[in-house]
Amino acid sequence: MLVIGEIGINHNGDIEIAKRLIDLAKQNDLDFVKFQKREIGLVYTKEGLDKPRESPWGITNREQKEGLEFNRQEYYEIDKHCILKDIDWFGSPWDIVSVEFLSTFDVPYMKIASAMVTDSELLEAVKNTNIPVIISTGMSTKEEIDKALDILGDNVEYILACTSSYPTPDNEVNLRFIKTLKQQYPNYKIGFSNHSPGIKAMEIAAVLGAEMLEFHMTLDRSMYGSDQAASIESTGVELLMKFVKNLPILMGSKDWVVTPKEEEIKKKLRKTQGEDGCSACRNTRFSYDCE
User: What is the pLDDT at residue 137?
Assistant: 97
User: What is the pLDDT at residue 270?
Assistant: 86
**What is the spatial distance between Cα 169 and Cα 44, in angstroms, rounded to a whole number?**
28
Query: pTM for the whole thing?
Result: 0.90
**Phi/psi at 32 (nearest 5 deg)?**
-145, 160
User: What is the pLDDT at residue 271?
Assistant: 76
Give the pLDDT band of residue 48 (cuts 50, 70, 90).
Answer: very high
**Phi/psi at 101 (nearest 5 deg)?**
-65, -50
**Phi/psi at 9 (nearest 5 deg)?**
-115, 15
**Phi/psi at 116 (nearest 5 deg)?**
-105, 5
Percent of the chain exceeding pLDDT 90 equals 90
Confidence check: pLDDT of 278 > 70: no
- Hey, what amino acid is at 207? V
- How many CB atoms neighbour CB 291 within 10 A? 6
Percent of the chain exceeding pLDDT 70 equals 93
* 78-91 tens-digit pLDDT: 999 999 999 999 99
**What is the spatial distance between Cα 76 and Cα 18, in angstroms, rounded to a whole number?**
13
3 vs 253, residue with greater confidence: 3
55 vs 277, residue with greater confidence: 55
Domain range list for the chain:
2-251, 258-291
User: What is the pLDDT at residue 291?
Assistant: 45
Give the pLDDT band of residue 6 (cuts 50, 70, 90).
Answer: very high
- Measured over the CA atoms of residue 155, residue 158, residue 159 and residue 163, the dihedral's sign is negative
Residue 165 bridge partners (DSSP)? none
Confidence check: pLDDT of 31 > 90: yes
User: What is the pLDDT at residue 272?
Assistant: 65
Confidence check: pLDDT of 100 > 90: yes
CATH architecture under which domain 2-251 falls: Alpha-Beta Barrel (3.20)
- Beta pairing, strands 110-112 & 156-162: unpaired
